A and B are shown apart, each in its own frame.
Chain A
Amino acid sequence: MGSTGRSDPAAGGGSAPADGRRDVQRDHAEAAGGEPEHQLGGLVQAWVAAVARTGFVTGGRVRVRAVLEESLRLLAAALVAEPFDASPGYRVGADLVASQLSSSRALGNTVTLLHRQLIPGLGIRHPQAPARLAALLGELAAGFTEAMRKVALAAAEDINRAERTAWRRRQNEWQRRLQHVLLTERLTGLPNRARLTVWLDEILAQPPSCARLGLCLVNLDRFKAVNDSLGHDKGDQLLCAVAQRLRSLTDQGGHFLAHLGGDVFAVVIQHTNGSDDVAKFADLALRTMREPFRLDGHQVPVAASAGIVECAAADTRASELLRAADTTLSWAKAHHRGHWAVFDPQSYTSQLHRHALTAALPAALTRGEFTLAYQPLIRLADRAIVGVEALARWQHPDWGTINPAQFIPLAESTGLIVPLGLHLLEQACNQAAAWHRGGGSSPLVSVNLTASQLRSSGLPAAIAAMLNRTGLPADKLQLEITENAIVDTGSTDLDDLARSRVRLAIDDFGTGYSSLSYLADLPVHAIKLAPRFLYGIADTADRHSNATILPALITLSHDLGLTVIAEGIETAAQAERLTALGCDLGQGFHLSHPATPDRITGLLAGDATDEDAGETRGP
């Protein structure tokens, strides 16, 4: 450091070059008139004493003494130099600050001491000395102050920068922890779904290092039961214990473990060669789960299911992988509880298809895409059409005709079945009423009801209103209800329906969980035999049990006053045999395909039965 301040007007001197050490000594020798060094030494001592305690100096008094001695030499030389130059004063002021002698007291003491002692102390007799000293001290104060100002400004900048840096670090740390919290499952502290997705995407973005990888979702079976019976605290404890067991497995294998929330965990296995690699892990994990967990003295047995996806990393996205694993897990839970299942692309596609269909259902209902086809119910004795079964069809603009087996369960699972059912029922009633108005022996229309429709409140009233509105006589409407639906439904509802004189038929008779005893108690009018009863009935071999059961069933039903309808008649032999056994009505491709209402109208009018004239079968 050390500004010379040479051009400062306050310097009041000439513009002599700055002095070097040799000049100083020479000038000093002149100034002091060859006086011994001890004069200088005494003054240095006094100066050190005056400033040493005013502040802290790195290097202590040794350093202070060296700095002050050098300064004294500069000042002494300047006092007698020709021409006079006051700038050494400025430099001395700056040097004091540079040496950490920067307190206000250091400056004050210095000016006082030098003013009093410099000239007499060094025995300087130059006539201009007092005036020159005043100028030098003025410069010293200026140099000191300017240097101080620079130090203070620089320090202020430093400390402000440091404060900003520290604050930025705090914010970064905060952000990091926040990220951590956001990407961590609260209960177990494991990475959560978001973290897994981010991590998977990172892994998948650099496939060469990991050509294939596997994802295994592990889900506890009946975890809800633990929560319900032992309480949520115990449930949480169990999840933590499960996480710990999985963690020890994934740590061993170097796999990535995540907790997707609830009782679902995910494990990613890298560098796989096929789904077997993942299945091995799943086996181990599920086996490990089976070891009972101890929760405060309770032995809690836990079973788990797992869904496995294994694939090439290239062109795979984390979201797809997770969705596929989710689907596989649901499939495992539905079909192989307690075991693992490997992702099956085919069932996945059909599942996707189901999702698409489900999503399209509500709009299809508003757009009127649901229609009915009618399959004749034939009286076997004379092959006359005495009724029709209404069969739902979905005429999708893009996907074509969709069969009820595909969309009715979806409608049922979403609750859309109730409005859809009423819509179809009304359509059927309208059509049947039209046939009825056409005169003659109009056909019975038979409509399927699902369990949830049957359970929906106000069904009897809705049907009564519908019959009233369409003008269809109640006994021209038959409702087909499965055994299971009947078991699930209170008989009061059935009684209400029966009282409205609507006919009730038990659909798929003999396939549900019901017993024969209810046949006598329920207000039903007909049974529809499940197609399986028709297998083997035309054979003569005695070992075919249907050949025995069927005649008995028909006799029993007739004794109870029930009409017997056989569906799924596909061969002439079946039709003949059923006719011989006294079965009342028949339905099936052998007799007639489902057909459009117009076609049915034609058939009723006596048009020749054309086997191929039926409705084109849906996909």
Chain B
Amino acid sequence: MPFSGTYLKQYAASMQGRGNDVERPSWVPEGVDITVPNSARAYDYALGGYHNFQVDRDFLDRLVQALPGIRADAIANRALLHRVIRWLIGQGVRQFLDIGSGVPTVGNVHEIAQELAPESRVVYVDIDPVAVAHGQAILAGNPRAWAIEEDVHRPADIVNHPDVQRILDFSEPVAVILFLAMNYVTDDDEACAVMAYLRDSLASGSYIVLTHLSPFPGLEEEVEKFRKMFDETPTPITSRSREQIADLLTGLDLVEPGIVRIADWHPEPDDESDPRAGAIGLTAVARRP
């Protein structure tokens, strides 16, 4: 289009549909489709939550068949989140941007953070409108926490979202939580670009926390089967090697013990960890220098 006026750019942007909708006219929004499984709600079911639909439960049941340890993995991943939040609070971080938060039902970041430090500010980001609507219902009375609907593929839209800008102060340290979120950015270059954008948006002393599906020695086949099942959801996933995960964290300082199994990151002293739990992925906490 030859016309490149500001207004038209804004207009074009507002008319742009979500990434992979090719068939639909760009201005027709997606509806809420509860006939296809949604990984946020399936994750909720794995954690023992009830904020899910039959299609999500069926999906998880099939995932469990492919990878029997998946429930334990989900629980281990959630337990890690709590350890990490407590650790970050201990480091003085009071702002949290939880991207790919899922349905905020079982063990929310804001609950842990605000219990330890009431002034903590939290924004949840998810692509699932139901998860977001529910999150907003829970957070209605909480002036320092909110949920927004955005896509991890568009970090600029997340960081510049008015609600994010309203609640978080990017001139101060912010912890960006990407728990099993970068799996959804399947293209490596794009994933690095997303990470770079987030990294560059953060003040020194900020953190990026990552858990990522990673083919563990001996589990390659199962993990691949598991990965493939997401191809039928609106949000396909990829797994990445330790090296690829390290690439994502370029420009950041890894916090000890580095990129490790989910269960091995600062375990609780008396935690006899499930020998298999968290075997599905790797985690890392990295600091913006």
Q: Interface of A with B (CB < 8 Å)?
A: 49, 53, 55-62, 100, 102-103, 151-152, 155-156, 158-159, 161-163, 165-167, 169-170, 173-174, 177-178, 180-181, 184, 188-190, 237, 240-241, 243-244, 247-248
Convert B1-44 into 0s and 1s, putting 1 for each residue whose CB lies closer than 8 angstroms to a CB of A: 11111011001101100000000000111111010000000000
Q: Interface of B with A (CB < 8 Å)?
A: 1-5, 7-8, 11-12, 14-15, 27-32, 34, 47-53, 72, 74-75, 78-79, 82-83, 103, 105-107, 111-112, 129-134, 136-137, 268, 270-272, 274, 277
The reply to whether A159 and B53 form a contact with Cβ atoms under 8 Å apart is yes
Nearest CB of chain B from residue A199's CB, rounded to whole Å: 15
Neighbouring A residues of B2 by C-beta, 8 Å: 237, 240-241
CB within 8 Å for A60 and B268 given contacts A162-B130, A162-B133, A189-B3? yes
The reply to whether A244 and B3 form a contact with Cβ atoms under 8 Å apart is yes
Q: How far is the CA of A58 from the CA of B85 in the complex (A)?
A: 12
CB within 8 Å for A60 and B5 given contacts A158-B51, A166-B32? no
The reply to whether A102 and B29 form a contact with Cβ atoms under 8 Å apart is no
Q: How far is the CA of A102 from the CA of B106 in the complex (A)?
A: 11
Pull 7 A–B residue pairs with CB atoms less than 8 Å apart, ordered by A. A58-B106, A60-B83, A100-B48, A155-B51, A158-B137, A244-B3, A244-B5
Q: How far is the CA of A103 from the CA of B103 in the complex (A)?
A: 18
The reply to whether B75 and A55 form a contact with Cβ atoms under 8 Å apart is yes
Neighbouring B residues of A151 by C-beta, 8 Å: 50
The reply to whether B78 and A56 form a contact with Cβ atoms under 8 Å apart is yes
CB within 8 Å for A163 and B130 given contacts A56-B48, A61-B268, A240-B1? yes
**Residue picked from B103, B134, B274, most chain A C-beta under 10 Å:** B134
The reply to whether A58 and B51 form a contact with Cβ atoms under 8 Å apart is no
Pairs A-B, 9 closest by C-beta atoms: A155-B50, A162-B134, A166-B129, A240-B3, A165-B133, A58-B107, A162-B133, A166-B133, A189-B11
The reply to whether A58 and B129 form a contact with Cβ atoms under 8 Å apart is no
Nearest CB of chain B from residue A286's CB, rounded to whole Å: 20
Q: Which of B14, B32, B74, B136 contacts A163 (CB 8 A)?
A: B32
Q: How far is the CA of A184 from the CA of B72 in the complex (A)?
A: 53
Q: How far is the CA of A243 from the CA of B1 in the complex (A)?
A: 13
Query: What is the count of residue pairs linking A and B with beta-carbon distances less than 8 angstroms?
Result: 121
Neighbouring B residues of A49 by C-beta, 8 Å: 272
Which partner residue on chain A sits nearest B274 by CB separation? Answer: A53
Q: How far is the CA of A243 from the CA of B5 in the complex (A)?
A: 9
Nearest CB of chain B from residue A182's CB, rounded to whole Å: 11
Neighbouring B residues of A181 by C-beta, 8 Å: 27
The reply to whether A170 and B129 form a contact with Cβ atoms under 8 Å apart is yes
Q: How far is the CA of A248 from the CA of B4 in the complex (A)?
A: 12
The reply to whether A174 and B50 form a contact with Cβ atoms under 8 Å apart is no
CB within 8 Å for A59 and B82 given contacts A156-B50, A190-B7? yes
Which partner residue on chain B sits nearest A159 by CB separation? Answer: B51
**Residue picked from A162, A173, A241, most chain B C-beta under 10 Å:** A162
Besides A189-B8, A247-B5, 9 more A-B contacts (Cβ < 8 Å) are: A49-B272, A56-B74, A59-B82, A60-B271, A158-B137, A159-B130, A163-B34, A170-B31, A189-B12
Nearest CB of chain A from residue B47's CB, rounded to whole Å: 5
Which partner residue on chain A sits nearest B106 by CB separation? Answer: A56
The reply to whether B7 and A247 form a contact with Cβ atoms under 8 Å apart is yes
Main secondary structure of the interface of A (DSSP, over half): helix
The reply to whether B105 and A189 form a contact with Cβ atoms under 8 Å apart is no
Q: How far is the CA of A141 from the CA of B1 in the complex (A)?
A: 68
Q: How far is the CA of A62 from the CA of B115 in the complex (A)?
A: 15
Nearest CB of chain B from residue A300's CB, rounded to whole Å: 13
Which partner residue on chain B sits nearest A181 by CB separation? Answer: B27
Neighbouring A residues of B136 by C-beta, 8 Å: 165
The reply to whether A165 and B137 form a contact with Cβ atoms under 8 Å apart is yes
Neighbouring A residues of B1 by C-beta, 8 Å: 240
Which partner residue on chain A sits nearest B128 by CB separation? Answer: A166
Nearest CB of chain A from residue B65's CB, rounded to whole Å: 18
Nearest CB of chain A from residue B237's CB, rounded to whole Å: 21
Neighbouring A residues of B103 by C-beta, 8 Å: 159
Which partner residue on chain B sits nearest A237 by CB separation? Answer: B2
The reply to whether A243 and B31 form a contact with Cβ atoms under 8 Å apart is no
Q: How far is the CA of A166 from the CA of B131 in the complex (A)?
A: 9
Q: Which of A58, A62, A159, A244 contacts B111 (CB 8 A)?
A: A58
Neighbouring A residues of B137 by C-beta, 8 Å: 158, 161-162, 165
Nearest CB of chain B from residue A230's CB, rounded to whole Å: 14
Q: How far is the CA of A177 from the CA of B103 in the complex (A)?
A: 27
**Residue picked from A61, A161, A166, A241, most chain B C-beta under 10 Å:** A166
Neighbouring A residues of B51 by C-beta, 8 Å: 155, 158-159, 162
Nearest CB of chain B from residue A57's CB, rounded to whole Å: 8
Neighbouring A residues of B131 by C-beta, 8 Å: 162
The reply to whether B53 and A60 form a contact with Cβ atoms under 8 Å apart is no
The reply to whether B78 and A177 form a contact with Cβ atoms under 8 Å apart is no
Neighbouring A residues of B30 by C-beta, 8 Å: 170
Q: How far is the CA of A181 from the CA of B129 in the complex (A)?
A: 24
The reply to whether B107 and A61 form a contact with Cβ atoms under 8 Å apart is no
CB within 8 Å for A56 and B53 given contacts A163-B133, A243-B3? no
CB within 8 Å for A56 and B47 given contacts A49-B272, A162-B130, A163-B130? yes
Q: How far is the CA of A346 from the CA of B27 in the complex (A)?
A: 47
Which partner residue on chain A sits nearest B11 by CB separation? Answer: A189
Neighbouring A residues of B11 by C-beta, 8 Å: 184, 189
Neighbouring A residues of B270 by C-beta, 8 Å: 61
Neighbouring B residues of A61 by C-beta, 8 Å: 268, 270-271
Q: How far is the CA of A59 from the CA of B82 in the complex (A)?
A: 7
CB within 8 Å for A189 and B7 given contacts A53-B274, A58-B107, A155-B105? yes
Neighbouring B residues of A243 by C-beta, 8 Å: 3, 5
CB within 8 Å for A166 and B50 given contacts A58-B107, A60-B79? no
The reply to whether A58 and B82 form a contact with Cβ atoms under 8 Å apart is yes
**Residue picked from A53, A159, A189, most chain B C-beta under 10 Å:** A159
Q: How far is the CA of A59 from the CA of B3 in the complex (A)?
A: 56
Which partner residue on chain B sits nearest A154 by CB separation? Answer: B50
Q: How far is the CA of A180 from the CA of B74 in the complex (A)?
A: 43
Q: How far is the CA of A102 from the CA of B103 in the complex (A)?
A: 18
Q: How far is the CA of A155 from the CA of B106 in the complex (A)?
A: 11
The reply to whether A170 and B32 form a contact with Cβ atoms under 8 Å apart is yes
Neighbouring A residues of B72 by C-beta, 8 Å: 53
Which partner residue on chain B sits nearest A167 by CB separation? Answer: B32
Neighbouring B residues of A167 by C-beta, 8 Å: 31-32, 129
Neighbouring A residues of B105 by C-beta, 8 Å: 155
Neighbouring A residues of B134 by C-beta, 8 Å: 158-159, 161-162
